[in-house]
A and B are shown apart, each in its own frame.
Chain A
Amino acid sequence: AQRVTQPEKLLSVFKGAPVELKCNYSYSGSPELFWYVQYSRQRLQLLLRHISRESIKGFTADLNKGETSFHLKKPFAQEEDSAMYYCALRALDSNYQLIWGAGTKLIIKP
């Protein structure tokens, strides 16, 4: 069965420190992976998708098929990065349904 695991419910780092939010997945097919973010009092929104291979707000994520991971990274955290982050997988053999991780709350300390 498809599954997305975000092992950290809460991650707290200091401003300027590197950030890595972990995401591991279980899926036998070829996955499409995404990171969504929800800032305080704002709507959940797409941050980035692995196909795009782009950096958004300084964040990058590389799909590692060998380790079945899609970790989200940023070299220097900023206070405005504090938010809830969700990793999601698109299951091609489940009618494109998105499988969601439990989310990681990122707190950037000043």
Chain B
Amino acid sequence: DGGITQSPKYLFRKEGQNVTLSCEQNLNHDAMYWYRQDPGQGLRLIYYSQIVNDFQKGDIAEGYSVSREKKESFPLTVTSAQKNPTAFYLCASSTWDRGNGYTFGSGTRLTVV
């Protein structure tokens, strides 16, 4: 079955470390997105990519970086510059068909220890 996979499900980061969250999709979707969600809150857009080798900053890109070297993959790196990284991170993908919504992964919960 086609889908979007995020790994790991839980991730612990020490102060000053960079960590990378994986997002892989086999839906042949062109666009991919990263969102941050704090407890009980809505979604905030970190980065998005509409085609391979191109990506754009979202509303809260500071302290994060991404790459889009393959259509299927859109990893997110949380750098040490992100001062408050503890949150739930969601990856999503979509086609160019405007009648379709996003397909979401199951999320990665990142905790700073």
A and B co-occur in one complex? no
Residues in A lying within 8 Å of B, measured CB to CB: none
Residues in B lying within 8 Å of A, measured CB to CB: none
